[in-house]
Amino acid sequence: MRLPARDGIVQRVGEGDGVPRQMPASFVVRPAGAGIRLCTRCAEGHTALPERPRMTGRVPFSGSAPRLGWFSSSSGLLRVKYSPFDPVFVLRSSCGMMNHRHEERWILMGLTFTKMHGLGNDFVVVDGMNSRVDLPADQVEAICDRHRGVGADGVITVRPGRSQGSSAFMDYINADGTPAQMCGNGVRVTAKYLVDHGYVAPESGELLLDTRAGVKRLTFEANRGRLDQATVNMGPPELDPASIPVRADSDSAHRGMRFVGSLAIDTQWGAADLACVSMGNPHAVWFVGIETLPETLFAGERSLQGLDLTRVGPVLESAPVFPEKANIEFVTVEDDGLHMRVYERGVGETLACGTGACAVLVAAYLTGRSGPSSDVHLPGGTLAIDWRDDGVYMTGPAATVYSGTWN
C-alpha cells in the first residue's frame, strides 16, 4: 500500500465537532508495503482488526480525488479513504458476526519533533512518553536526510522508563536506520528534553535514564526550568576483546587491566595502530602521527583538521576485525588536552561523540598518554572526561534548536 508523503501519526476525530482527540496511544502510519498499525476494537470489546492487516491489492493514493481501498485481514475487512484535501481515514471493519459493523474516522497528522544537539551532534527527538511511535528504518533515513529531510545524525524516541526509578528510555536510531546501543551526546540531549518538557523536575538535579547499554545516572544544572549542562556516569569501560567486540587478543596491560592497545590494520596508506574500547558501543582509537602519514590522506593542511576522514574512515569502520563495525577516533595529544575527530558507524563524521570522547580518554590513560581526567576537544566543542573508580564521567552541554512537524 503506497501512502502519501504525509505519513505520520493517526488520531481519531472527535465526535461532532471534527476536532482531533488524542487517544491513549497514537498510531504510526507505516510507509509503502508495511500496512497500517491499528488497535481498533468493536463494541463487544474483542479485537476487530489485527495490528497489521494483510493487503490484498495495490491502491494508489495520489492526485486530488479520494481513493478507496479494501484490505482483508484474518478477522475482517478494512476500508481506507484518503483525500489530499481532506486527510481523513474512514476505517470500517467486519469481525465476522452477523450485522456487526464498526466504523471510525481518523485524521492523518504530522509527526511532531524537536531538533536538538550536543556540541553539534544533532538529533531529531520524538516524544513517545504518552503515545505509541514506531518509526521504520526507511522513515528514519528520510527524516535524517540533510538535503530532503530534517537533517540529523540520528533519531531519539523518548519512551517510558523500563527499570525501577528510571525517568525514560532513550531509543536511539542512527541516521542509516540501525539501532545504536549508546550515544553519550544523545543521553544529555534526552535529559534536557525530559527536564525542559516537564517530565523531570528541574530542581531535582538528577535522573536515571534507560538505554540499550543499561541505566545511566545523570546530574544536571538547570536555569529557569531549562537544563543547560549535564554530567553522566557512562559506566566502566569494557576492555575484553569479545565484549567490545573485536577479533583480536589483548596485547597490553596497565595496573592489572589487560586490553587491546596496539591492533595493526593494514590500509593502502600504511598500518593504523588502534586501541580498542567499548563504552556500550565499540570504539577504535588511533593516536595519529600526522607527520608519518602520506600526503594523499590530507584534504588540506597537514593536521588533524586536514585529515580526509571520508577516505580512511569507512575502511577502518568496516574492517573485518570488527564484527559489528566500530566507531573510529582520530586523536592527537596537545598541551591543552586531547584533540579528536570521529567517524561514527552508520553515520559518518560527526561534530562530536560522547562515548567516543570517553573511549579516547580511557585509551590515552591506558597507553600512558594522559592522566585519568582531561578535556577532550572535538570539532563541535569540548567535553570534560573523568575516569573514576565507579565509571567514566562525561560533562557537557545540550541545546534545543527548534520544534516542528514532519509531514
DSSP-derived secondary structure for 138-201:
HHHHHHH-TTTSS--SEEEEEE--SSTT--EEEEEEETTS-B-S--HHHHHHHHHHHHHTTSS-
Residues lower than pLDDT 50 in the chain: 1-108
Rg of the chain (C-alpha set) = 25
Enter the C-alpha cell of residue 11.
Answer: 488520531
Q: Which residues are annotated as a binding site for substrate?
A: 121, 174, 184-185, 281, 327, 344-345, 354-355
How many angstroms separate the CA atoms of 265 and 261, rounded? 12
CA dihedral 261, 262, 266, 272 (to 10 degrees): 70
Hey, how many other C-beta atoms are within 10 angstroms of the C-beta on 234?
27
For residue 399, the surrounding DSSP H or E stretch is strand 399-406
Q: CATH number of the domain at 112-235+399-406, please?
A: 3.10.310.10
How many angstroms separate the CA atoms of 184 and 394, rounded? 8
Enter the C-alpha cell of residue 319.
Answer: 574492517
> Could you list the active site residues?
183, 353
Task: Report yes or no: 102 and 93 within 8 Å, Cβ to Cβ.
Answer: yes
Instruction: Please give the C-alpha separations between residue 163 and each of 122, 127, 166, 209, in angstroms, as whole numbers.
Output: 27, 19, 6, 9
Same fold, 112-235+399-406 and 241-389: yes
- pLDDT value of residue 182: 93
- pLDDT value of residue 87: 39
Phi and psi of 271, rounded to 5°? -85, 140
The gap between the terminal CA atoms of the chain, to the nearest Å, is 18
How many angstroms separate the CA atoms of 92 and 79, rounded? 5
How many angstroms separate the CA atoms of 28 and 199, rounded? 23
Burial 90-119 (b: 16+ CB within 10 A, else e): ebbbbbeeeeeebeeebbbbebebbbbbbb
- pLDDT value of residue 134: 82
Q: Which residues are annotated as a binding site?
A: 121, 174, 184-185, 281, 327, 344-345, 354-355
Quick one: what percent of the chain has pLDDT higher than 70? Answer: 73
- pLDDT value of residue 98: 38
CA angle centred on 161, ends 155 and 166, rounded to 5°? 120
- pLDDT value of residue 97: 41
CATH level 2 (architecture), domain 241-389: Roll (3.10)
Whole-prediction pTM: 0.74
How many angstroms separate the CA atoms of 361 and 381, rounded? 16
What contacts 24+ positions apart, CB below 8 Å, involve 382-388? 382/119, 382/337, 383/119, 383/352, 383/354, 383/357, 385/357, 385/358, 385/360, 385/361, 387/237, 387/361, 387/362
How many angstroms separate the CA atoms of 86 and 88, rounded? 6
Of 397, 281, 286, the residue nearest 339 (C-alpha): 286
> Over the stretch 109-129, which tens digit does the pLDDT of each residue have?
578 899 999 999 999 999 999
How many angstroms separate the CA atoms of 328 and 238, rounded? 16
> Over the stretch 151-190, which tens digit does the pLDDT of each residue have?
999 999 999 999 999 999 999 999 999 999 999 999 999 9
- pLDDT value of residue 72: 33
- pLDDT value of residue 133: 84
How many angstroms separate the CA atoms of 171 and 188, rounded? 13
User: What is the domain partition of the chain in residue ranges?
Assistant: 9-109, 112-235+399-406, 241-389
Task: Report yes or no: 76 and 49 within 8 Å, Cβ to Cβ.
Answer: yes
